[in-house]
Amino acid sequence: MVTTYVLDTSAIIYGFNPQLVQGDHYITPRVESELFGKKTRTITDLCVSSGRLKIRSPADKYRIIVKSHASSSGDLSVLSETDMEVVALALQLADEGAPPIVVSDDYSLQNLCRMLKIEFKPMITKGISHEFWWFLYCPACGATYEHSLRATECRVCGHQLKRKVYSKKNINPEAGKRKA
Q: Please report, for the chain, the start and end positions of each structural domain, with discontinuous segments joined by +.
A: 4-121, 130-170
Q: Whole-angstrom Cα distance, residue 138 to residue 90?
A: 34
Angle ∠(135,78,149) on CA atoms, nearest 5: 50
pLDDT at site 148: 55
Q: Whole-angstrom Cα distance, residue 19 to residue 60?
A: 30
> How confident is the model over 76-116, as pLDDT tens digits?
878 899 999 999 999 999 999 999 999 998 888 998 998 89
> How confident is the model over 24-80, as pLDDT tens digits?
999 999 999 998 877 888 889 999 999 999 999 999 999 999 999 988 877 887 889
> How confident is the model over 135-175, as pLDDT tens digits?
777 888 888 876 655 667 888 898 888 877 766 677 654 43
pLDDT at site 178: 32
Instruction: Please name which of 89, 82, 31 lies closest in space to residue 60, comparing C-alpha atoms.
Output: 89
Position with higher pLDDT, 177 vs 120:
120
- pTM of the entire predicted model: 0.74
Q: Whole-angstrom Cα distance, residue 66 to residue 86?
A: 10
pLDDT at site 21: 92
pLDDT at site 173: 43
pLDDT at site 2: 87
pLDDT at site 166: 66
pLDDT at site 128: 65
pLDDT at site 59: 98
Evaluate if residue 177 carries a pLDDT over 70. Answer: no
Instruction: Please name which of 115, 107, 101 lies closest in space to residue 70, comparing C-alpha atoms.
Output: 115
Q: Which amino acid is at 11?
A: A
Q: Are strands 24-27 and 4-7 parallel, antiparallel or unpaired?
A: parallel
Mean pLDDT of all residues in 5-15: 92
Q: Whole-angstrom Cα distance, residue 9 to residue 151?
A: 25
- Dihedral over alpha carbons 158, 162, 165, 171 (to 10 degrees): 150
Instruction: Please name which of 52, 62, 65 lies closest in space to residue 17, comparing C-alpha atoms.
Output: 52
CATH classification number, 4-121, choose in 1.10.10.60, 3.40.50.1370, 3.40.50.1010, 3.90.1300.10: 3.40.50.1010
Instruction: Please name which of 83, 91, 139 lies closest in space to residue 108, comparing C-alpha atoms.
Output: 83
